[in-house]
Amino acid sequence: MSKLLILGSIAFDQIETPFGKSNSIMGGSANYIALAAAQFEIPAAIVSIVGSDYPQEYLNLLTERRIDVSGIEIVQGGKTLFWSGKYHNDMNQRDTLDTQLNVINDFKPVVPEAFRDAEVLLLGNLHPSLQMDVLNQMTQRPKLVVMDTMNYWMNHTWDLLMEVIARVDVITINDEEARQLTKEYSLVKAAQRIMAMGVKYVVIKKGEHGALLFHEDKVFFAPALPLAEVFDPTGAGDVFAGGMVGYLTKTRDYSFANLKNAIVQGANVASFCIEKFGAERLLTLTHNERTARLQQFRDLTQFDIQLR
């Protein structure tokens, strides 16, 4: 069975929404990605770093789901990355109230021996030098390398970012970031420019407006499921990426046709994540719930028009 390796952050998140305020809970891209990918029951591992304040029970939630945590460095006496944010009434905008980088400042990723030949590698949104470092530790080039990034790295580490982009197959990026990366307002043109940087597939995340997948001259669109209530959007983008790579690792088909399926799977898992605080909903999500909602995605978009 093929394996998935995830580079990402592990954090404590404190979240305020119009519906309430969370305690300091399990957060960070690596947790969201791994818990989403675990829905597909594949062997996965995380490369990340925490302080000794990070509870063993959070790590247990991962190992119970076949997620190898041996690549998560625990810094004795160190403090785990902390983030707190507040959402506005429309849930589409948030303010970061506090970020304490803590141990992640000195993070030197080490890929566990057993995952250096992982078939799929997801480079979460971290400093491009960390992404490059992990990529270089692989004993063979993964079949699929996916990266996430953000505007901060475009502003501060442009050259290095370009080097990483040139070595990956898939980039996931939100619409604003795609525009900033390319200076193109049209997402079609932006995607074309990103592909010219050496990427095979460009996935543009538009939040509640769904996600676009570009490949060569082709484009596919996965809508977000229209929901009566969005409780907490934190992590939805990571969960989307995690569901996508989980499905791809499971099916081992990296064609455009299957990437389409993968982003629908990602959108599906993400639609659950936003129903509760943080990653809470992912911990109870069942295979049957997922499958039932996939049918809703199908009903949402499938039509039977005559081409006349």
**Positions that interact with its own copies (CB under 8 A):** 89-91, 185-189, 192, 206, 209-210, 212, 218-223, 226-230, 257, 260-261, 264-265, 291, 294-295, 298-308
Rounded least distance, CB 102 to its own copies, Å: 35
Rounded least distance, CB 36 to its own copies, Å: 16
**DSSP character at residue 125:** S
Of residues 145 and 230, the one with the C-beta less far from its own copies: 230
**Residues 212, 205: Cα–Cα separation, whole Å:** 7
Of residues 131 and 265, the one with the C-beta less far from its own copies: 265
For 215, the token pair is 């490949």
**Residues 7, 133: Cα–Cα separation, whole Å:** 10
Residues 6+ apart with CB under 8 A from 44: 3, 4, 5, 6, 34, 37, 38, 66, 67, 68, 246, 249
Of residues 102 and 234, the one with the C-beta less far from its own copies: 234
Rounded least distance, CB 75 to its own copies, Å: 41
C-alpha distances (whole Å) from 151 to each of 139, 181, 196, 218 are 30, 8, 19, 26
Q: Give the residue ranges of DSSP H helices in the chain.
A: 29-37, 56-63, 128-137, 151-156, 158-165, 175-182, 187-196, 236-251, 256-273, 280-284, 287-301
Rounded least distance, CB 114 to its own copies, Å: 27
Rounded least distance, CB 219 to its own copies, Å: 6
Of residues 30 and 91, the one with the C-beta less far from its own copies: 91
For 11, the token pair is 């954090």
Of residues 24 and 151, the one with the C-beta less far from its own copies: 151
Of residues 26 and 239, the one with the C-beta less far from its own copies: 239
Of residues 66 and 189, the one with the C-beta less far from its own copies: 189
Rounded least distance, CB 247 to its own copies, Å: 9
* 3-state class (DSSP) for residue 250: helix
Cβ burial of 70 (10 Å; 0-12, 13-18, 19+) is middle
**Residues 35, 304: Cα–Cα separation, whole Å:** 35
Rounded least distance, CB 228 to its own copies, Å: 4
**Residues 35, 238: Cα–Cα separation, whole Å:** 10
